Amino acid sequence: MITNMPETKRIALLLPQDIGYSRAVLRGIQEYAVARPHWIFRDAPPTREILEPLQEWKPHGIIALLFDQQVADSLATMKKPIVNTTSTLDLPKIPLVENDHEAIGRLAAEYFLQRGFRNFGFFGSGWMGSSRLREAAFREVVEAAGHNVSSCYAEYLPRPPIAESWVHVDRQIDSWLGELPKPVAIFAQNDVPAVTWPTAADNSGSSFRTKSP
């Protein structure tokens, strides 16, 4: 007796594996895929270099962490189902599965307030969607409790450009940290900006700007 075999599906996973969040997404996909042995998965970073081979492969669907507008626009022209896993860019036409960034910001503020802090800082991107949502919710809870938040911004998307100098010393963040009243509780947008904090001797070369409350 001949039975109909399920149609093979090619699913592209465009997720940077050097980010813990993306690795967690991949683990979830792997668990889901166990029951779908007829699906074929290929993974690659969500960079412009992957666009040509991806079009040649003709995926049936794409799961991606979209932080490059050109990559997002090119994927949209392929007319394939896409799921975005980051709110870095404003992409209202692409379905988004993400964390609740406002809840994360509120939790961070409540955590610090419960421990008695009265001075607060925020360190993250000044324009990324996830960062803005986290900062706004964090600031709302802190200000409702009668305190202020001083913010410092670094743009990295989600890493500083590869060709950007690692030697150049940018003292703005050191100045920001030095001027904050102590003790201070600082909420970093996520682990990436948290590890880019420079010292007087060195920094990552990111572009920093400061903003007072």
pLDDT of residue 164: 59
The CATH number assigned to the domain holding 201 equals: 3.40.50.2300
Per-residue pLDDT tens digits for 29-52: 999 999 999 999 999 999 999 999
Q: Are residues 177 and 112 in the same domain?
A: yes
Write down the pLDDT at residue 3: 57
Q: Is residue 1 part of a domain?
A: no
CB neighbourhood size of 81 (10 A): 13
72 and 41 housed in the same domain: yes
Distance between CA atoms of residues 154 and 159, nearest Å: 10
Residue 90 lies in a domain: no
CA nearest to 185, candidates 149, 153, 154: 149
CA-to-CA dists, residue 20 to 16, 135, 147, 197, angstroms = 9, 21, 32, 19
Residue 154 is predicted with a pLDDT of 77
Tokens in use for 164? Answer: 């950007």
Asked, for residue 94, whether it belongs to a domain, the answer is no
Residues of the chain scoring pLDDT < 50: 1, 167-169, 199-213
Give 114-138 pLDDT, tens digit per residue: 999 999 999 988 888 999 999 999 9
Judge if 174 and 138 occupy the same domain: yes
Given a contact cutoff of 8 angstroms between Cβ atoms, the answer to whether 113 and 145 are in contact is: yes
Cα(45)–Cα(139) distance, integer angstroms: 33
Q: Quote the pLDDT of residue 169.
A: 37
CB–CB of 11/63 below 8 Å?
Answer: yes
* Count: domains in the chain: 2
- pLDDT value at residue 212: 40
Domain end among 33, 51, 84: 84
Per-residue pLDDT at 183: 95
Task: With respect to residue 96, please indicate whether it lies within any of the assigned structural domains.
Answer: no
Contacts of 134 (CB under 8 A, 6+ apart): 101, 102, 104, 105, 108, 124, 187, 189
pLDDT attached to residue 173: 79
Residue ranges making up the domain that contains 139:
101-211
Q: Which of 54, 84, 114 marks a domain boundary?
A: 84
Together in a domain, 70 and 132: no
pLDDT at position 202 is 40
In terms of domains, do 169 and 129 share one? yes
